[in-house]
Amino acid sequence: MTEQPTQTSAAAVPACIDAESLDAYFGASRVVRDVSFGVRSGEVTSIIGPSGCGKSTLLRCLNRMHETIPGARVEGEVRFEGRDIYAPSVSAIGVRRHIGMVFQRPTPFPTMSIRDNVAAGLKILPRSEQLSRRETDDVVERALRRAALWDEVKDRLHTSAVAISGGQQQRLCIARALATSPTVLLLDEPTASLDPLSTQRVEELVYELRSDVTIIIVTHNMQQAARIADRTAFMLAGELVEYAPTNAMFTAPRDPRTEAYITGRFG
Amino acid sequence: MMIQPQTASSPGLARRPALARSYRDILAASTERTLRRRHVKSYIMVALTYFAAVVATLPLLLILWHLAKQGASSLNWNFFTRMPAPAGETGGGMANAIVGTGILILIASVLGLPIGIGAGLYLAEQRGTRLANTVRFLSDVLNGLPSIVLGIFAWQMLVRPFGHFSALAGGIALGAMMIPLVTRATEEMIRLVPVSLREAALALGYSKWRTSLSVVLRTALPGIVTGALVAVARVAGETAPLLFTALGNQFWSVNLGQPIAALPMQIYTYGISPYEDQHAQAWAGALVLLGLVLIISVAARFVTRSRFGLGAGD
């Protein structure tokens, strides 16, 4: 229980997302084991660990995406701003509107233009919150600017979204997630399929976005975690081994397994 | 046999160095021989597949040529606008059959497309469930069902209880033929839509049905339209299900409750008649039917090459 001390100190500040004794299953196999941790607002939190350690699954538990896979289920509690998102009265759709997500591979909708991709999340809002065409255009521009993509696509907003480069597509997906003004943004290895330059752009973006969106990022890349995260969680075989401020974890890990991993002795 | 020395199978290596050929020369020679043999084999196989490809297109070319030769002379404006001439007289057209085929296709599409696309969507979205597997299997069986059996069935269900043949019964019979074709085409196309796209929509807060309709179905749409057009082209030429249902009609009729003329049946009737002129009309009718199917197929290809959609990006 090495994460105990940091946890108690984290609990003092109001947490944005709080997971408690979280278990996630695929059928009978338990891929996330009794994970408890709190994510603070306005911070970048990274989850690192070797392949198959359950870090992506843990992330997908936080916006109820895990349950979309047949045979998958979640036990335990995840509180978002104090409310349990797995409570029977809470709809998964509402949760996902507040907690956006971007995946490993860019997923622009190929049938939609760049503009319509960014506006995709707005179109499904309840009728009372529907925006006019003008307002939608404004939101689209703001989202694309926040995703540092506006200058590159402003002249071709109405062309196909799959005609732009992979790095641009990924930033388009970030813009699409930002358009609905989520409180939290979950990034599941967002740079794994990008070249180093595009990776750098996305990292800069994460750094800039931290002021108004709480970001949780899963990454394979420890340097990336060290560069952009305020806090880092290390997972191994479904368990949360250590959760601490990034600096502390990379300079003075408490757990020998964390030390072995970050010094490259395995993984 | 078993005790024969192994070298017998590779004579090149068995030779003595006394023949003044190094091992390398022997290897080179044998490699060259192998290469030559492979080239010859390759040529023969390519020639065979080329031949098969030509033979595969030959029937269509022959039919086109034959139809054009026999039918073109009777094909004029009157053929599309006039009613059939009484037996023994020359002239006249197939206006009623052309319109009848159009009406039958329309009824079949109204029935077959929504049900087929809906069923295909279900099979693709609920894959792996027992019901989906059962439906898929039954749909394949229905697809393989001889069309005459479908015709008799439609007669039993839709003609006999009402006491008369009708366009509606014919259209429904054709629609029933379309359903499995459209179902499988839709399912295949939807399966091509990557799971990541579905997840992206769900993560944006799309509900399940909204994801299915506005992302998954929309992405697969060009392929589905192609499949639907192929199914339409397929049933447009069906005769057997119509014999017991739409029956055919010598006169002008657009009444869905009455027997209606259709091109395939008219071709059949004229084809077995004793009059030269009706034979010529049958040829022309066949040419028109083939033209119709060709137009639909070409349209299908154009739809696939639409601006957005699967494959547009690569």
Nearest CB among A63, A111, A173 relative to B219 is that of A111
Rounded-to-integer distance, Cα B266 and Cα A261, Å: 80
Q: Which residues of A touch B199 (CB under 8 A)?
A: 65, 68, 103, 107
Interface of B with A (CB under 8 A): 128, 194, 196-197, 199-207, 210, 215, 218-219, 221, 307-310, 312-313
Q: How far is B127 from chain A (nearest CA, A)?
A: 11
- Does residue A163 belong to the interface with chain B, where contact is any CB pair within 8 Å? yes
Strand partners, A19: A37, A78
Report the residue of B130, B198, B204, B307 to disrupt the A interface, i.e. the one with the largest count of A CBs within 10 Å: B204
- Does residue A69 belong to the interface with chain B, where contact is any CB pair within 8 Å? no
Collapsing DSSP to helix, strand or coil, B191 comes out as helix
- The terminus-to-terminus CA distance of chain A in angstroms comes to 22
Contacts of A250-255 with C-beta under 8 Å, sequence gap 24+, read: A250/A222, A250/A226, A254/A2, A255/A2
DSSP conformational letter for B247: B
Q: Which residues of B touch A94 (CB under 8 A)?
A: 205
Amino acid in position B309: G
Nearest CB among A94, A121, A163 relative to B204 is that of A121
Nearest CB among A63, A68, A110 relative to B219 is that of A110
ipTM > 0.90, yes or no:
no
Distances (CA, A) of B152 to A256, B100, B182: 78, 20, 22
Rounded-to-integer distance, Cα B92 and Cα B82, Å: 5
Other C-beta atoms lying within 10 Å of the C-beta of residue B219: 24
C-beta separation of B237 from B177 below 8 A:
no
- Does residue A126 belong to the interface with chain B, where contact is any CB pair within 8 Å? no
Residue with tokens 């479904």: A238
Amino acid in position A84: D
Q: Please list the alpha-helical segments (H only) found in A112-263.
A: 114-123, 133-146, 150-153, 166-178, 196-209, 222-228, 246-251, 256-262
Nearest CB among A97, A160, A173 relative to B308 is that of A160
Nearest CB among B203, B206, B312 relative to A124 is that of B206
The reply to whether residue B202 touches residue A103, judged by beta carbons under 8 angstroms, is: no
Domain count, chain B: 1
Residue with tokens 């054009």: B68
Mind listing the domains of chain A with CATH numbers?
Answer: 4-262 (3.40.50.300)
Q: How far is A8 from chain B (nearest CA, A)?
A: 31
Digitized pLDDT (tens) for each residue of chain B, 314 residues in all: 445 444 444 455 555 555 556 777 777 878 888 899 999 999 999 999 999 999 999 998 999 899 988 888 888 888 888 888 887 777 788 899 999 999 999 999 999 999 999 999 999 988 888 999 999 999 999 999 999 999 999 999 999 998 889 999 999 999 999 999 999 999 999 999 999 999 999 999 999 889 998 899 999 988 899 899 989 999 998 989 999 998 888 888 888 888 999 999 999 999 998 888 888 889 999 999 999 988 988 888 787 665 444 443 33
Rounded-to-integer distance, Cα B89 and Cα B75, Å: 16
* A105: closest chain B residue by CA: B196
Helix, strand, coil percentages for chain B (3-state, nearest 5): 75, 0, 25
Other C-beta atoms lying within 10 Å of the C-beta of residue B208: 14
Q: Which residues of B touch A68 (CB under 8 A)?
A: 199, 202
Helix, strand, coil percentages for chain A (3-state, nearest 5): 40, 25, 35
Strand partners, A29: A26
Collapsing DSSP to helix, strand or coil, B261 comes out as coil
**C-alpha B196: how far from chain center:** 31
The reply to whether residue B200 touches residue A107, judged by beta carbons under 8 angstroms, is: yes
**The domain that contains B283 carries what CATH number?**
1.10.3720.10
The reply to whether residue A109 touches residue B201, judged by beta carbons under 8 angstroms, is: yes
Model confidence at A14, in pLDDT bands (50, 70, 90)?
Answer: low
The reply to whether residue B205 touches residue A163, judged by beta carbons under 8 angstroms, is: no
The reply to whether residue A65 touches residue B203, judged by beta carbons under 8 angstroms, is: yes
β-strands A184-188, A72-80: how paired? unpaired
Model confidence at A42, in pLDDT bands (50, 70, 90)?
Answer: confident
Rounded-to-integer distance, Cα A22 and Cα A26, Å: 14
Residue B211 lies in a domain: yes
Residue B264 lies in a domain: yes
Q: In what order do the strands lie in the sheet with A72-80?
A: A29-40, A15-26, A72-80, A83-84
* A120: closest chain B residue by CA: B204
Q: What's the length of chain A?
A: 267
C-beta separation of A254 from A72 below 8 A:
no
Residue B77: both structure tokens together: 């404006």
Q: How far is B205 from chain A (nearest CA, A)?
A: 5
- Does residue A103 belong to the interface with chain B, where contact is any CB pair within 8 Å? yes
Angle between helices B95-125 and B263-271 in degrees, nearest 10 = 130
Collapsing DSSP to helix, strand or coil, A54 comes out as coil
C-beta separation of A107 from B196 below 8 A:
yes
Name the burial class of residue A230, with classes exposed (0-12), middle (13-18) and buried (19+) by CB atoms within 10 angstroms of its CB: middle
Q: Find the Cα–Cα–Cα–Cα dihedral B176, B177, B182, B187, rounded to 10°.
A: 90
pLDDT at B256: 87
The reply to whether residue A96 touches residue B204, judged by beta carbons under 8 angstroms, is: yes
Residue B121 lies in a domain: yes
Nearest partner of B126 among A144, A70, A259, judged by Cα: A70
A vs B: CB pairs below 8 A: 71
Q: Dump the DSSP string for A222-258.
A: HHHHHHH-SEEEEEETTEEEEEEEHHHHHHS-SSHHH
- Does residue A110 belong to the interface with chain B, where contact is any CB pair within 8 Å? yes
Amino acid in position B56: A
* A164: closest chain B residue by CA: B313
Q: Dump the DSSP string for B100-155.
A: HHHHHHHHHHHHHHHHHHHHHHHHHHTTTSHHHHHHHHHHHHHHHS-HHHHHHHHI
Average pLDDT rounded to a whole number, residues A29-40: 92
* A113: closest chain B residue by CA: B308
Q: What is the pTM of this model?
A: 0.77
pLDDT averaged over every residue in chain A? 88
> How does pLDDT run across A93-117, given as a tens digit for each residue?
989 999 999 999 999 999 899 999 9
Distances (CA, A) of A112 to A144, B176, B272: 16, 34, 54
Residue B108 lies in a domain: yes
Residue with tokens 């409750």: B257
Domain span at residue B229 reads 95-304
Nearest CB among A103, A111, A121 relative to B218 is that of A111
